[in-house]
Each structure stands twice: as C-alpha cells, then as structure tokens.
Amino acid sequence: MIVEIVSVGTELLMGQIVNTDAAYLARRLPEAGASLYHQVTVGDNPERLREALLCALSRSDVVITSGGLGPTKDDLTKDVAADALGLPMELNPEAERRLRGYFESRGRSMASNNLRQAYFARGAALFPNPYGTAPGCVIERGGKAVIHLPGPPREFMPMVDASVLPYLAARLGGVIRSRYLRLFGIGESDAETLVADLMDESNPTLAPYCSLGEVQFRLSARARSVEEAESALDPLERAVLDRAGQFVYAKTDIPDDTMACIAARRLIQSGKRIALAESLTGGLLAASLVAQPGVSSVLEEAIVSYANSSKIRRLGVSEESLREHGAVSERVAQEMAEGIRKSAGVDIGISTTGIAGPDGATAIKPVGLVYAALSTKDRAVVKRLELNGRRDDIRLLACLHATKLLLDELGGAYGG
C-alpha cells in the first residue's frame, strides 16, 4: 500500500509554518503497513493542487492531504479533490448538526461561510475532529482513497492516531497496536546494532527514532484483533529488553513522551518532594519538569545559582570548595544538591554545574564538562560527564542526565 502526502497551504509553502504534520504522519505510516515515497507541498492554488492530487493518485494507493478544510475562500482542498475525482459536493447533515452545536455551545452565532466545513464529496466517510470545527474524511474511488485532514497540528495529529492509522490498517484487513520503549545512555547507531536483526521483520515492526541524547523504539503489530496484535508484540518486546534492557527507562503507549514528563509523573506518584539547584542548565531543568501538569504539588523550588555568590548564599556551598575545586567540580555539585535539599526542606535535591561554552573552558576543564548530583537523606550521587555539542545541546544533555538521576532514585517498573 503506497501512500503519498500532499500538504496544502500558502503559509506552509512559504515557510511561515514548518511542516510538522507531514513529519508526524510519515513517522507513523509504517505502523499501518504503508510505504511512503513522496511528500509534496503546494499553496492555496486550485490548479497546482489539482495537478498535485492527480499526480499523487497516479502513483499511489492512498493520498493524504493536510490543510484547506476551513471556512475561508482559501480553503479549497475538498472542492478541488472532489472535482478531480468527478464527484459532487454535498451537505453532510450530521456534520452540519455538529457544527451548529459547536457554535451554540459557545454562545456564538455561526457565520454562513462556516457551513462549508460540513460539505463533502459524495460518498465521503467522516473522521470526527474533537479539537476543531473541520472534520476529516476519506473518499474511496476506483480502488484508491483520498483522505483529507485539517492543518492545525493539534487537530491533525489526534486524527492520524484515532482515524487514519486504523483506516489504513483496516484496508489491509486488521488493526494495529504500538508500544514505545525509551532508551537513554546509548547512541542511535549502537542501539540499532543491538536489535538490527529484529528490524528486518515486516510485522511486527521495530523502528528506532533518535532525538538529542535519547532513543525511542517503536514496536508495532498489525493483526486481525487487538488481542492478536498485543500477543505479537509481547515476544518482540522481550527480545528488545533482552538485548537493550539496561538502557530502557520507560515503556509508554504514546509516541514522543519526554523523559522530564515521565520523571515528573513518577515523582507525583511517589509523593516525594523535590528541589533543584541549577547552574549551567539555567532553569531548563525546572522548565522541563513543570511542562507536566500537577508537578506543583511536588516541586518546591529551583534555584538557578549562576553566580558563586548565589551558590554560597542560597545553597550554603562553602567558599573553600569553590576556591579549591572551582564551581565546576564534583565537590560543588554535591554541596549544591545537598544544600538545596536541606534549605528547601525536601526529600530529593538535584544539582547541575558545568561549562556550556563557548567561553569558560580552562586547561583542565573543557567545554562540555558537567557534573550532575542528587542528594537524599540516605545517599549522595554525582555523575561526571563530558558532553559534546553546541551550548544549547550541552545544556539539554545535562538536563537529561540530571533527570535520569531522578528516575533512578524513584526506581520502580519501567512501565509508566
């Protein structure tokens, strides 16, 4: 099953928006057993859109469009596609009812152009849109299919998960299930090498994705039933854990979960309170944790102690340690973590100190030298790191290592 993505919109074409929709869909298509060979982007121009759709239909089984489903006169995708397929546009009563209900429930009157969002090519099957007013749809014609999805990522991505992948899997006669294992402490190519032979299977599939410092394995199975798919995933998961289990810190059902949010959720579950002392990470560690709603119940405070005077005054780091070992040292990292734990009166203190560059390196302390430390009343841990990359990369990697210290302290099963 060959799929092609046609992204529609002048803002996209002109680069005012980066095409995260296409990247997201492309990453998930293999789960449904689909192959992708072309992505194209055109503006809100009916002739070029029509040409792109016909070209895509000539070489693919399924064409998926994003964008151009809204109420304005620039939103042409459905009309142009219906015309290209030789189908009339018809008002969908169910879509109209929902649209009117949407505006009524917000106490707003509906401008007449909004009704365009309830028109679809004859025979279209609708995909509900819980996050916006424009439903998606699929139109089957001559053994091929055209799928229309809304452009805003907050509407597009949930519709891919809820409607598009199940539709595509059903086209091949089945359902799909996916799990995600998140790894830390191993590079992408090393991770791939460990599981290389498992990646050759076509069902279930194993695919690695790499972001800065982290690797995610996606395990997907297509089968006739959910139970069958889950059963197919179990041995694959065991095989991955046999090879790479020591690097796996979490198993989730959603793609692209972050280590910080996973750690924050485990922290909330644990009920332990935490405080942070950040130097080179400059607030990033705190910011990554507070991305998780509810963290305010367990995060007491964070001190970004950039200056030595702040380390002394706020954290009780000793002047002697700063003088003898320097601010970037195991000793100072440890005193920062212990100092923040005690002065904030919490269970866990975490600290970071290091040299993000481009300046600040010395003969014995290179750019990228970082210490991350954790302190509880029972123990103290310090990690010494030599990180590579630009200033921003080094700070992000330092955050990941500090967050990993927290995950290790919280322990527990990797599921969660």
Residue numbers at the binding site for its own copies (CB under 8 A)? 13-20, 22-28, 30, 36-43, 45, 48, 52, 209-210, 276, 278, 281-287, 289-291, 293-294, 296, 299-307, 309-310, 313-314, 343-345, 357-360, 391-392, 395
The DSSP code sequence of 143-210 is TEEEEEE-SSHHHHHHHIIIIIHHHHHHHTSSEEEEEEEEEESS-HHHHHHHTGGGGG-SSSEEEEEE
Angle between the N-to-C axes of helices 308-315 and 330-344, in degrees from 0 to 180, rounded to the nearest 10: 40
Q: Which of 331, 259, 334, 342 lies closest to 300 in space, CA to CA? A: 342
At its nearest, how many Å lie between its own copies and the CB of residue 94? 29
Paired tokens of 169: 């899997």
- Closer Cβ to its own copies, 20 or 113, answer by number: 20
Residue number with CB closer to its own copies (92 or 305): 305
Q: Which is nearer to its own copies, 81 or 121 (CB)?
A: 81
Min dist. Cβ of residue 113 to its own copies (A): 17
CB of 121 to its own copies, least distance (A): 24
The dihedral of CA 356, 330, 383, 312: what is its sign? negative
User: In terms of Cα–Cα distance, which of 335, 351, 371, 350 is closest to 273?
Assistant: 350
User: What's the min distance (Å) between Cβ of 180 and its own copies?
Assistant: 14
Place of tokens 């121009």: 45
Distance CA 180, CA 117 (A): 35
Residue closer to its own copies (CB basis): 344 or 373:
344
Smallest gap from residue 103 Cβ to its own copies (A): 18
Q: Which is nearer to its own copies, 103 or 306 (CB)?
A: 306
Shortest Å, Cβ 22 to its own copies: 7
Minimum CB separation of residue 270 from its own copies in Å reads: 17
Note the Cα 148 to chain centre separation in Å.
Answer: 23
Task: Tell me how far, at minimum, the Cβ of 155 lies from its own copies, in Å.
Answer: 13
Nearest alpha-carbon partner for 216 in 176, 261, 257: 257
Task: Specify the residue, 118 or 398, whose C-beta has the smaller distance to its own copies.
Answer: 398
Helices (H) and strands (E) in the chain, counts: 15, 17
Q: Quote the CA–CA distance of 128 and 60 in Å, as a whole number.
A: 25
Q: Which is nearer to its own copies, 154 or 379 (CB)?
A: 154
Of residues 101, 134, 137, 98, the one with CA closest to residue 116: 134
Q: CB count, 10 Å around CB of 210? A: 14
Q: Return the number of the residue (305 or 329) whose C-beta is nearest its own copies.
A: 305
Task: Compare residues 126 and 210 and give the one whose CB is closer to its own copies.
Answer: 210
* Closest alpha carbon to 124 in 97, 153, 158, 90: 90
Cα 336 to Cα 327: distance, rounded to the nearest angstrom = 10
Q: Output the smallest distance, CB 275 to its own copies, in A.
A: 8
